[in-house]
């Protein structure tokens, strides 16, 4: 009885990966709270301002992780989001600071970066038929390079020109990154789980030939996921530029790998077919909380990368162990 119960719980967890990732996140927050209380730092961690901060920093890659998860589920990979984020902040900053365009128009133009980079990636993948790794490596180089060419080593400071009490739709700016990230995560999660297009993305990632033989318009679906991936990366960029007030070419360096790691922690398989958008965002939050928590403890900042690396490996290993146990049980 109890054995069956354990098995049932395990299979339920592996099927609803989001729940287990969410529980890891809760445990993490609790762990940091207890650890920081011991050290007497808990006030700096467990409060609304700090949680807003966590959402703000996490959203930079968390929003992009929504698109990246979809691309990974389709059997592809996207190395461009970090660079797309950077170019978006640069374009938005350039238009807003240099040309004095209104903020909404600058942001919209920044958004176009995602459309173009996503379009380029999907062209290279579906028409030229490059492997996604190479195609998006190219897009990464082009977008990051353009960002450096435009800024020429400088950066744009948008924060000075945005009033502190700026509100969008009546909501203070600081709340927006979190709202966008969670909102998009839910919308695209439902899109992937419930709509026929989402199902086709899963099908292509699982077995492209079988999907094609079942009538799936493989190219069209791939174009869709790379476009969504690009657009969400540049939305991350716009959010970053507006909320944090930076427009820099060297921003978000290496984020593409954090994004992929977040998607994997959230249950995505790099061989395609499996994964969860919500899981990827929760995975991003696990990293966000980890960074924030470590930052609060004096002297641990330098350990951040090391610990993040270990956490990714440990979570994925635990996952594989549970999957193996299940398949053996048959």
The site for another protein (CB under 8 A) is made up of 194-196, 199-200, 202-203, 205-207, 209-217, 269, 272-274, 327, 329-330
Min separation Cβ 289 and another protein, Å: 30
Q: Which of 84, 44, 36, 24 is nearest to 60 (CA)?
A: 84
Is 144 or 202 the residue whose CB approaches another protein more closely? 202
Q: Which of 235, 240, 267 is nearest to 251 (CA)?
A: 240
Min separation Cβ 219 and another protein, Å: 10
Look up residue 248 and give its DSSP letter: E
Is 214 or 253 the residue whose CB approaches another protein more closely? 214
Min separation Cβ 231 and another protein, Å: 21
Is 17 or 144 the residue whose CB approaches another protein more closely? 17
Min separation Cβ 37 and another protein, Å: 43
Length of the chain: 330
Is 19 or 168 the residue whose CB approaches another protein more closely? 19
Determine the distance from the C-alpha atom of residue 317 to the mean position of all C-alpha atoms in its chain, rounded to a whole number.
21
Q: Which of 286, 308, 243, 240 is nearest to 26 (CA)?
A: 286
Min separation Cβ 201 and another protein, Å: 12
Residue 119 near residue 230 (C-beta atoms within 8 A): yes
Is 50 or 207 the residue whose CB approaches another protein more closely? 207
Residue 230 near residue 88 (C-beta atoms within 8 A): no
What is the rounded distance in angstroms from the CA atom of residue 289 to the CA atom of residue 28?
A: 8
């Amino acid at each position: 009885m109890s054995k069956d119960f354990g098995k049932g719980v395990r299979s339920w967890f592996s099927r609803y990966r989001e729940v287990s990732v969410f529980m890891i996140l809760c445990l993490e927050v609790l762990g940091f709270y207890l650890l920081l209380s011991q050290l007497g730092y808990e006030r700096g961690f467990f409060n609304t301002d700090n949680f807003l901060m966590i959402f703000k920093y996490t959203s930079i890659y968390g929003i992009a992780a929504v698109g990246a998860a979809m691309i990974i589920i389709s059997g592809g990979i996207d190395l461009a989001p970090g660079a797309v984020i950077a170019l978006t902040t640069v374009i938005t900053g350039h238009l807003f600071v240099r040309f004095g365009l209104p903020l909404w128009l600058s942001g919209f133009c920044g958004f176009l970066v995602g459309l173009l980079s996503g379009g380029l990636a999907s062209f290279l993948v579906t028409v030229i038929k490059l492997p996604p790794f190479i195609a998006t490596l190219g897009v990464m180089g082009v977008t990051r390079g353009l960002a450096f060419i435009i800024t020429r080593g400088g950066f744009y400071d948008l924060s000075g020109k945005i009033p502190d009490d700026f509100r969008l739709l009546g909501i203070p700016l600081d709340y927006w990154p979190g709202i966008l990230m969670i909102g998009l995560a839910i919308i695209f999660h439902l899109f992937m789980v419930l709509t026929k297009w989402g199902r086709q993305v899963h099908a292509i990632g699982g077995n492209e030939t079988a999907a094609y033989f079942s009538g799936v318009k493989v190219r069209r679906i791939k174009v869709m996921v790379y476009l969504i991936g690009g657009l969400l990366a540049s939305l991350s960029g716009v959010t970053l530029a507006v909320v944090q007030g930076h427009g820099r070419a060297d921003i978000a360096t290496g984020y593409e790998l954090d994004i992929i790691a977040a998607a994997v922690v959230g249950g995505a398989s790099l061989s395609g077919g499996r994964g969860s958008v919500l899981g990827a965002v929760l995975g991003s939050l696990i990293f966000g909380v980890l960074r924030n928590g470590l930052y609060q403890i004096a002297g641990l900042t330098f350990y951040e990368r090391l610990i993040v690396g270990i956490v990714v490996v440990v979570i994925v290993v635990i996952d594989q162990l549970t999957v193996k146990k299940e398949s053996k049980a048959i």
